[in-house]
């Protein structure tokens, strides 16, 4: 059974199937109370472990609710309270968990831990964010974009700020879904060359543009994220603030993008830093649709992993 480790490791046809299934599962639940089960119960009798080595609101709640809606059961494990890489090897933890649960989702720091877990588990493993990537988020973002604007193929996405883990998964998605991505931020915070090169090798245009106003011209989507991620040292905050202030997404920047442009942020946001209240709460923002779609997109990802 397949793991969902990164968007670039998943076949385009499978990604498309997941997005379409997420949309149809969302439509099937329209207007229903949140606690009611889905008509289909594909996870009936299945147990899902959710491991968190970093804080989470959306990932934790959306996976938990999604499993329950599909008839499964959930174990939420705090990384500091289990022996993951502390008291025993990741390989042994993976083998033990595989005797108890049918699916593992992990949010961790080092990508190596995710990869070791996936290598040694005999059940599928889902990446719920590492220091390098956040694929579940971008699946929800693709679903959200297409809900509002139709196919994302050939569209222009602009990433403003730090070329971080969420940006990396957007670059993976650019290659797989066929959209162009412009990064605007300071040279010191460029996305890793590996992510840029891979997207380009899949035939899409990746542009690095230091001037944010020029970068957003004609954008279909402008995306921001926190300037300081969970894996960053706290002492980068002041320097990041100075470096990234010119890349704050405000009403003037959204006006430069044009009325066709949507605004996304994976949340949690630092209002007033990377994005202003006026943009967060303005007519181009789809941030709460994005948050909701974590539920639907991840339900489709889990079904794909389990083949149900
Ligand atoms: N966007 C996202 O992954 O949010 P959480 O950190 O709250 O899970
Ligand atoms: N880049 C952020 C995303 C949080 C969902 C972080 O890694 O902290």
pLDDT tens digits, one per residue of 103-138: 999 999 999 999 999 999 999 999 999 999 999 999
Tell me how far apart the 2 most distant CA atoms of the chain are, in Å.
Answer: 55
Distances (CA, A) of 183 to 155, 187, 245: 14, 10, 15
Query: Residue 91: what pLDDT?
Result: 95
Query: Residue 83: what pLDDT?
Result: 80
Q: Which of 237, 188, 182 is nearest to 211 (CA)?
A: 182
Query: Residue 176: what pLDDT?
Result: 98
Q: Does residue 211 register a pLDDT over 80?
A: yes
At 261 the three-state DSSP class reads coil
Q: How far is the CA of 128 from the centre of ligand 2 (A)?
A: 11
Q: Does residue 80 register a pLDDT over 90?
A: no
Ligand 1, atom nearest to 136 Cα: 3
137 is catalytic: yes
239 is catalytic: no
- Best residue among 138, 169, 229, 236 to mutate for probing ligand 2's pocket (most ligand atoms within 8 Å of CB) is 229
Task: Choose the catalytic residue: 120, 172, 294, 303.
Answer: 294
Ligand approaching nearest to the C-alpha of 59: 1
Contact by Cβ (8 Å): 256, 271: no
172 is catalytic: no
Say if pTM beats, i.e. exceeds, 0.85.
yes
- 87: pLDDT confidence band, cut at 50, 70 and 90? confident
Q: How far is the CA of 57 from the centre of ligand 1 (A)?
A: 5
Query: Residue 283: what pLDDT?
Result: 98
Q: Which of 130, 159, 94, 148 is nearest to 231 (CA)?
A: 130
- DSSP 3-state helix, strand, coil percentages of the chain (rounded to 5)? 50, 15, 35
167 is catalytic: no
Q: How far is the CA of 249 from the centre of ligand 2 (A)?
A: 17
Span 171-198, average pLDDT: 98
Q: How far is the CA of 81 from the centre of ligand 2 (A)?
A: 22
Ligand 1, atom nearest to 59 Cα: 8
Q: Does residue 1 register a pLDDT over 90?
A: no
The answer, yes or no, to whether any atom of ligand 2 lies below 6 A from the CB of 164, is yes
Query: Residue 197: what pLDDT?
Result: 98
Task: Indicate the burial class of 208 (C-beta count within 10 angstroms; 0-12, 13-18, 19 or more).
Answer: middle
Q: Does residue 19 register a pLDDT over 90?
A: yes
- 254: pLDDT confidence band, cut at 50, 70 and 90? very high
User: Of all residues in the chain, what percent carry a pLDDT higher than 90?
Assistant: 96
Q: Does residue 85 register a pLDDT over 80?
A: no
Q: What counts of helices (H) and strands (E) characterise the chain?
A: 12, 9
- CA 295 to chain CA centroid, Å, is 12
């Amino acid at each position: 059974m397949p793991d969902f480790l990164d968007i670039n490791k998943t076949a385009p046809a499978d990604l498309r199937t997941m997005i379409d299934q997420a949309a149809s599962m969302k439509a099937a639940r329209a207007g229903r109370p949140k606690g009611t089960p889905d008509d289909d119960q594909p996870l009936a009798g299945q147990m899902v472990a959710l491991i968190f080595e970093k804080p989470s609101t959306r990932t934790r709640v959306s996976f938990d609710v999604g499993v329950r809606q599909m008839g499964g059961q959930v174990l939420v494990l705090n990384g500091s309270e289990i022996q993951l890489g502390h008291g025993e090897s990741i390989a042994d933890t993976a083998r033990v968990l595989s005797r108890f649960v049918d699916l593992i989702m992990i949010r961790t720091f080092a990508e190596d831990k995710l990869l070791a877990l996936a290598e040694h588990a005999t059940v599928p493993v889902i990446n719920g964010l590492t220091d390098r990537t956040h694929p579940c988020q971008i699946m929800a973002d693709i679903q959200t974009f297409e809900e509002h604007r139709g196919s994302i193929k050939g569209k222009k996405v602009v990433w403003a700020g730090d070329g971080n883990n969420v940006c990396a998964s957007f670059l993976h998605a650019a290659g797989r879904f066929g959209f162009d991505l412009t990064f605007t931020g300071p040279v010191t915070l460029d996305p890793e060359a590996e992510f840029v090169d891979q997207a380009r090798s899949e035939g899409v245009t990746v542009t690095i543009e230091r001037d944010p106003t020029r970068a957003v011209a004609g954008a279909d989507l402008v995306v921001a994220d926190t300037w300081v991620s969970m894996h960053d040292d706290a002492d980068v905050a002041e320097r990041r603030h100075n470096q990234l202030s010119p890349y704050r997404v405000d009403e003037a920047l959204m006006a430069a993008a044009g009325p066709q442009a949507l605004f996304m942020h994976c949340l949690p946001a630092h209002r007033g830093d990377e994005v202003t209240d006026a943009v967060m709460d303005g007519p181009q923002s789809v941030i709460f649709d994005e948050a909701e779609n974590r539920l639907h997109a991840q339900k489709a990802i889990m079904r794909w992993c389990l083949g149900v």
